[in-house]
Structure formats: structure tokens, C-alpha cells
């Protein structure tokens, strides 16, 4: 189930169809901006499937700020911390698959576990425009985005299938660029570009900004 105000995502099937504000549709950047952010899969193996898109995206975003190389162990440590410190978090389980994640929980992870200042945005606490996000990227601020998962990640069109978290790492005049933790293959997950039109039509106006200290 998807609760928009909290941007709750399980990285699983979901049928909601919410589009970005039409006022965001008109602006386009004149110049390319691209952060050098590391990528890591939310899945420990090519045959596994986890609910760890939110924690993994947070690990990638923090590593982008810190200039470190994340490991899957960092993801596991993050969800263990969430299990022990966030009462609403569903638990780690014996397989480390994590659970449902929302933007409020992920911001708490950033602020209290990684000690990185983070702010949520969405219907309940303001919405970022495409221009706002470009301005953040230009200042070195990565953004964890609540989006609709784009299936097999072999096209530049995002599809309405399931809730997902990814890290916004770049933007051109025609595309947004993300680190997607969903694929096991780095070639599919790192710096994957989607058309701005497709992105604006499918993202959820929600996510977390991370501010370097």
C-alpha cells in the first residue's frame, strides 16, 4: 500500500498514478550538471530481490557526499539500525531484505545514523520543482527520489509499475540521470538517463535532500 504523504515504498507493485505539477513541465536546464556518485545494488546477488531500495539509495547518497565507496554491508548495517531505532520500520528479518520505507524514516536515517542533514519534501512539506533540483545538484546536493520503478531499466521511459527509490545524480537539457539500486548490473543501474518528460510524468513529487556539512 502506498501512502503519499509519507512516500511509503516497498519497491513492489503499486497502481497509483500521480503526476508532477504542470508548472514544473516548462523549465529546462541550459547546462549539464553531473555528480560523481558511487553506485551499489540493493540486492546481494543477481538472483536475490529485496525491499532495500530506500536504505540503499540513502547509502549511495551519503557516500556521494563523503567521497566513500559503499558496500552491501553498509546497506545491511543501515537496515539493522532502522530495525533497532525506528519503531514503524517493519524489521530486518533473517535474510536482510528490509521492509517498507518512507521519506520520514530515510531522513531520520540520514540525520541520526549518518549525521548528514536531510530534509523531506512532498505534499505535506513543500514540493521541489525541476529547477530546484537542478540548483541542488549544481551545489553538490544529491537527492533521494520517490519514483515509479521503470521495470527492466532498458528504456528511457519510466513506467507506472511499482514504488521505488533512486538517487538523482545529474540533469541535462533533455534527461535526468539517476543511480538506480534495483538492477544487480552496474551498467544498468549507474548514471541511467531518463527523459525529463517521462520523469515528470511518473515521479511522486517526493524525496529527501541531503546537505553536506
pLDDT of residue 125: 64
What's the CATH code of the domain at 170? 3.90.70.10
User: What pTM was computed for the model?
Assistant: 0.83
On whether residue 3 sits in a domain, the answer given is: no
Structural domain that includes position 66: 12-211
| Measured distance CA(148)–CA(128) in Å, rounded | 17
On whether residue 116 sits in a domain, the answer given is: yes
Nearest to residue 37, comparing CAs of 56, 60, 11, 20? 60
pLDDT digits (tens, 9 = 90+) for 131-143: 999 999 999 999 9
Average pLDDT over residues 179-203: 87
On whether residue 172 sits in a domain, the answer given is: yes
Q: Is the pLDDT of residue 12 over 80?
A: no
CB 20 within 8 A of CB 174: no
CB 63 within 8 A of CB 210: no
On whether residue 184 sits in a domain, the answer given is: yes
pLDDT digits (tens, 9 = 90+) for 41-62: 999 888 888 889 999 999 999 9
pLDDT digits (tens, 9 = 90+) for 143-170: 999 876 555 544 555 554 567 899 999 9
Q: What does R_g of the chain's alpha carbons equal in angstroms?
A: 15
On whether residue 5 sits in a domain, the answer given is: no
Question: Looking at residue 210, what DSSP letter applies?
Answer: E
| Measured distance CA(45)–CA(28) in Å, rounded | 38
Domain total of the chain: 1
On whether residue 67 sits in a domain, the answer given is: yes
On whether residue 1 sits in a domain, the answer given is: no
Amino acid at each position: 500500500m502506498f501512502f503519499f504523504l509519507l512516500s511509503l515504498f516497498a519497491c513492489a507493485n503499486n497502481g497509483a498514478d500521480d503526476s508532477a505539477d504542470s508548472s514544473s513541465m516548462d523549465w529546462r536546464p541550459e547546462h549539464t550538471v553531473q555528480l560523481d556518485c558511487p553506485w551499489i545494488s540493493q540486492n546481494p546477488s543477481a538472483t536475490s530481490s529485496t525491499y532495500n531500495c530506500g536504505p540503499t539509495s540513502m547509502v549511495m547518497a551519503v557516500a556521494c557526499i563523503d567521497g566513500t565507496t559503499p558496500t552491501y554491508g553498509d546497506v545491511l548495517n543501515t537496515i539493522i539500525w532502522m530495525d533497532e531505532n525506528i519503531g514503524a520500520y517493519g524489521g530486518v528479518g533473517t535474510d536482510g531484505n528490509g521492509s517498507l520505507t518512507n521519506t520520514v524514516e530515510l531522513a531520520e536515517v540520514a540525520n541520526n545514523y549518518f549525521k548528514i542533514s536531510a530534509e523531506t519534501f512532498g505534499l505535506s512539506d513543500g514540493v521541489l520543482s525541476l529547477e530546484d533540483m537542478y540548483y541542488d545538484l549544481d551545489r553538490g546536493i544529491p537527492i533521494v527520489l520517490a519514483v515509479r520503478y521503470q521495470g527492466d531499466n532498458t528504456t528511457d521511459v519510466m513506467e507506472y509499475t511499482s514504488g521505488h527509490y533512486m538517487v538523482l545524480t545529474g540533469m541535462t537539457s533533455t534527461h535526468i540521470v539517476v543511480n538506480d539500486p534495483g538492477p544487480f548490473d552496474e551498467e544498468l543501474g549507474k548514471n541511467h538517463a531518463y527523459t525529463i518528460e517521462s520523469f515528470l510524468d511518473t515521479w511522486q513529487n517526493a524525496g529527501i535532500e541531503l546537505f553536506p556539512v
